[in-house]
Amino acid sequence: MKLSLLFQAACFTTTSISLNQLHGAQAQPLLVEGDLGCLNDGGTSDGDTCRPASSTTGDKPVGSLLPSHLPEPVVFTNFVENTTVSLSNGREVPVSTGTVTQINQFANSGSSSSTLNSATANSESINLATEFSVLPQALSRSSVDNVLSILQDYQYLDEDPDTVDGMPTYEIFVDSPDLYQRQGNNKVRDSDPNFLPYRIQLREKLQAILQPYLTTVLTTFVQQHYPDACSNKGPSRACTPCYSLIRRYRHGDRVSHATHHDGHAIVTVVVSLSDYGLDYRGGLYVSTGFGQHEFMALKKGDAVVHQSTLLHGVKVYDKLERPETTQRWSWILWYRDSTACADYSYEWFADCAQRGSPLCQQLHSTKVGSVPGIDAKDAYNQVLDLNFAAARGGAGGSAIKVARAYLQQLPSRLEFDQTKAAEFFQMAIQSHHPDGHYGMAHLLLAQAQLQQQQQQQSSDNNMYYQDALVVQAVAHLESAAQLGHVYSQFNLGMVHTYGYVTGHINGTLAASWFITSGLPEGYYVAAQQAKAVGDRERYAQLGQRAHALGFMAPWRKQARQHTGSGGAAGVDLNLPWPTAMDGRQPPKL
Ligand SMILES: O=C(O)CCC(=O)C(=O)O
Ligand SMILES: [Fe+2]
Q: What is the pLDDT of residues 4-29, one digit of tens each?
A: 323 332 222 222 222 222 222 222 33
Please tell me the residue having the least CA distance from ligand 1 atom 1: 330
Q: Cα of 339 to ligand 2 centre, how many Å?
A: 21
pLDDT of residue 461: 57
- The conformation of residue 25, written as its DSSP 8-state character, comes to H
- Ligand 1 atom with least separation from CA of 272: 3
| Backbone dihedral angles phi then psi of residue 152, each to the nearest 5 degrees | -50, -45
Of the ligands numbered here, which is closest to the C-alpha atom of 274? 1
Distance CA 554, CA 556 (A): 6
Report the half-sphere exposure of 454 (CA within 13 A, side-chain side): 10
Spell out the per-residue pLDDT of the chain, length 589, in tens: 333 323 332 222 222 222 222 222 222 333 333 333 222 222 333 333 333 333 545 568 999 999 999 988 899 998 988 899 999 989 999 999 999 887 664 443 333 332 222 333 444 444 577 899 999 999 999 999 999 999 998 999 999 999 999 999 999 999 999 888 777 678 889 888 899 999 999 999 999 999 999 999 999 999 999 999 999 999 999 999 999 999 999 999 999 999 999 999 999 999 999 999 999 999 999 987 777 889 999 999 999 999 999 999 999 999 999 999 999 999 999 999 999 999 999 999 999 999 999 999 999 999 999 999 999 999 999 999 999 999 999 999 999 999 999 999 988 889 999 999 999 999 999 988 999 999 999 999 999 999 988 887 776 555 555 689 999 999 999 999 999 999 999 999 999 999 999 999 999 999 999 999 999 999 999 999 999 999 999 999 999 999 999 999 999 999 999 898 776 788 999 999 999 988 999 999 9
Ligand 2 centroid – CA 269 distance (Å): 9
Question: What is the gyration radius of the CA atoms in the chain, in angstroms?
Answer: 24
Mutational test site, ligand 1, from 330, 331, 333, 335, max ligand atoms within 8 Å of CB: 330
Pocket residue to mutate for ligand 1, from 312, 316, 334, 563, most atoms within 8 A of Cβ: 312
Sequence-distant (≥ 6) Cβ neighbours of residue 315 within 8 angstroms? 73, 255, 256, 282, 283, 285, 293, 295
Q: Ligand 1: which residue has its CA nearest to atom 6? A: 313
- Which residue's alpha carbon is at the smallest distance from atom 9 of ligand 1? 332
What is the residue type of 193?
P
> Can you give the pLDDT at residue 207?
97
Query: 317 alpha carbon to ligand 2 midpoint, in Å?
Result: 18
Residue 424 CA to ligand 2 center (angstroms) comes to 26
Q: Looking at the CA of 310, name the nearest ligand.
A: 2
Pairing type for strands 267-272 and 504-505 reads unpaired
Which alpha helices (H) appear in 30-70, and where do they start and end?
none
**How high is the ipTM of this complex?**
0.99
Q: Which atom of ligand 1 is nearest to the CA of 268?
A: 10
**Protein residues whose CB sits closer than 6 Å to any atom of ligand 1:** 247, 257, 262, 270, 284, 312, 314, 330, 332
Residue 21 parent element (H or E): helix 19-25
If you take atom 10 of ligand 1, which residue's CA is the nearest one?
262
Domains identified in the chain and CATH numbers: 19-72+441-563 (no CATH), 127-336 (2.60.120.620), 345-418 (no CATH)
Contact 346, 338 (CB under 8 A): no
- Measured from the Cα of 312, ligand 1's closest atom is 7
Measured in Å, residue 312 CA sits from the centre of ligand 1 at 8
Burial class, 555, CB count within 10 angstroms (exposed 0-12 / middle 13-18 / buried 19+) = middle
Going from the Cα of 158 to the center of ligand 1, the distance in angstroms, rounded, reads 15
Residues with CB under 5 A from ligand 2 (ion): 262
Among the bound ligands, name the one nearest to the CA of residue 244: 1
Q: Give the distance (Å) from ligand 2 centre to CA of residue 277.
A: 22
Backbone angles phi, psi at 449, to 5 degrees: -65, -45
- Of 254, 268, 271, the one to substitute when testing ligand 1's pocket (max ligand atoms within 8 A of C-beta) is 268
394: left (phi over 0), alpha (psi -120 to 50) or beta: left
Residue-level pLDDT at 57 = 52
Taking the centre of ligand 2 as the mean of its atom positions, its distance from the CA of residue 475, in whole angstroms, is 30
Q: Do you know the residue count of the chain?
A: 589
Task: Calculate how far, in angstroms, residue 10's C-alpha sits from the geometric centre of ligand 1.
Answer: 26
At 135 the pLDDT is 98
Condensed to tens digits (0 to 9), the pLDDT of residues 168-186 reads 999 999 999 988 877 767 8
